[in-house]
A = this chain, B = another copy of it.
């Protein structure tokens, strides 16, 4: 049966690239869904066949897999990360209804004794978090995986091979647990020197005998200054691993979206690189993420073999989902009462919700302002400039003596307003852009909190049920105590994460507001200076 798909966005084929131009709303027939690299082959109603970005089309499938939290169910047609608010996909809605749904059979509900058991991976590790890919076996649909990824299917690699890799990974990053230190409230253990990296030097490469081309970025960590190459899909792979592993405890923001017109346009590449940089910087800044084996692999792999081995190992990591909490040590901190756990959780939930609203509001306002600054406002200044110049040239035609001083000055004033028009149109890229990017990042981060908080709420509910479970002999009193301890650990993790979030937030907003205002000051000063010069050309009377 031919799979039909609906085109969601206009896409213009790049000449000589085997691509197919499609228009929003058009229905196309998918002729090959296994092209990979984010592309599908499709045929339009005129019989033309070519490649189309899979993000640009929505395949008409009605039966979706159950039991997931509803995010990124289908790569095809996922919601845009553009400047507009992403309606109909409000993560807070998930929070209200489904958040605790996936939390049955988890770490917090398990008795202490079995925690270190190597063969309990079903009970411990199966509640992977948030991303459906984690639930799908190697046989599941995986359009995202091409070339070296395909090896996974064909190399004879099986579940049985994972033994020692899983064991090493289980202990957490580099074999040590994540520590929470409690002197000024719970905080993650921060390294002495801050990891950082530079994403730069995008280069176009090609594969499939030149059929498809892609962009490769150089990623250079400040620890080695040795660049490694990564394509967008490698970043995406890293994102999946981090989400799977840390998503229950740490908000892992989505990568910049793929749905931007003109995959190889310079502007798009620049924008994507800038956003990948921002994403990597944020990940580097997080002590837990930055210190993780998978993240270190991404930054420091020595060669292709090292990368592939590391990749397989990371994919077999069993310390994922709520299991991550088993690696957390609230060092020297007393167990928390359930009430306090609950209060903290509520407090963070309220704050992140309120900030999410605030950020979205600012984004909406900023988007409106951007549109005005690049659309009607400069047009108006241009028209003022033209009208003044036009009147000046009428004056010149008067034939009256002594006209020149006025007409020269009026023409100069008119040109000044045309210059101002251009300045106004270009200004958002110099200031509003960064304010918007930062707020977009925070929108992404905040969108992760409902799930993170949902995990905690579910754990709290479990602990609340514990008495009943003891009474009906479902669990022992010891197991009940363990559950309480674990909820306490989870709460410390959440508090550490919130403190991490707050400190970063203060840093980021302070920085971006300074940048914004600095550029705004320059902007208005330059306009004033230009107008002062225009003014000086009129004769004083």
Residue A233 is within 8 A (CB to CB) of chain B in the complex: no
Residue A391 is within 8 A (CB to CB) of chain B in the complex: yes
How close is A506's CB to chain B, nearest CB, in angstroms? 5
Residue A354 is within 8 A (CB to CB) of chain B in the complex: yes
Known: A502-B400, A538-B510. A372 touches B376 (CB 8 A): yes
Known: A368-B380, A369-B384, A524-B525. 15 other contacts (CB 8 A): A357-B394, A358-B387, A362-B387, A365-B387, A366-B384, A372-B376, A372-B377, A391-B509, A400-B506, A403-B506, A413-B513, A510-B538, A510-B541, A514-B538, A525-B525
Q: Could you jot down 23 A-B contacts, CB within 8 Å?
A: A354-B397, A355-B391, A355-B395, A357-B394, A358-B394, A361-B387, A362-B384, A362-B387, A365-B384, A369-B384, A395-B505, A395-B506, A400-B502, A400-B503, A400-B506, A410-B509, A413-B517, A511-B541, A513-B538, A517-B534, A521-B531, A525-B528, A528-B528
Q: Is the CB of B538 within 8 A of A401?
A: no
Inter-chain CA distance A372–B521, complex, in Å, is 22
Chain B residue contacts of A361, Cβ below 8 A: 387, 390-391
Residue A21 is within 8 A (CB to CB) of chain B in the complex: no
Q: Is the CB of B351 within 8 A of A397?
A: yes
Q: Is the CB of A513 within 8 A of B390?
A: no
Complex interface bits, A371-391 against B, C-beta within 8 A gives 1, otherwise 0 = 010001100100110111011
Known: A361-B390, A387-B365, A394-B351. A401 touches B531 (CB 8 A): no
Inter-chain CA distance A410–B359, complex, in Å, is 13
Residue A119 is within 8 A (CB to CB) of chain B in the complex: no
Inter-chain CA distance A406–B365, complex, in Å, is 21
Q: Is the CB of B391 within 8 A of A362?
A: yes
Most buried by B among A350, A505, A509: A509
Known: A354-B397, A406-B506, A524-B531. A369 touches B362 (CB 8 A): no
Which of chain A's residues 331-382 have a Cβ closer than 8 Å to chain B? 347, 350-351, 354-355, 357-359, 361-362, 365-366, 368-369, 372, 376-377, 380
A residues in contact (CB < 8 Å) with B: 184, 347, 350-351, 354-355, 357-359, 361-362, 365-366, 368-369, 372, 376-377, 380, 383-384, 386-388, 390-391, 394-395, 397-403, 405-406, 409-410, 413, 499, 502-503, 505-507, 509-511, 513-514, 517-518, 520-521, 524-525, 527-528, 531-532, 534-535, 538-541
Q: Is the CB of B541 within 8 A of A517?
A: no
Known: A355-B394, A383-B368. A518 touches B506 (CB 8 A): no
What secondary structure prevails in chain A residues at the interface with B? helix
Closest to A439 in B: B391
Chain B residue contacts of A365, Cβ below 8 A: 380, 383-384, 386-387
Q: Is the CB of B535 within 8 A of A398?
A: no
**B359, B386, B390, B517: the one within 8 Å of A391 (CB):** B359
**B357, B376, B528: the one within 8 Å of A521 (CB):** B528
Closest to A353 in B: B394
Inter-chain CA distance A107–B504, complex, in Å, is 89
Inter-chain CA distance A395–B540, complex, in Å, is 52
Known: A383-B368, A394-B358. A535 touches B507 (CB 8 A): no
Inter-chain CA distance A534–B520, complex, in Å, is 11
Closest to A371 in B: B380
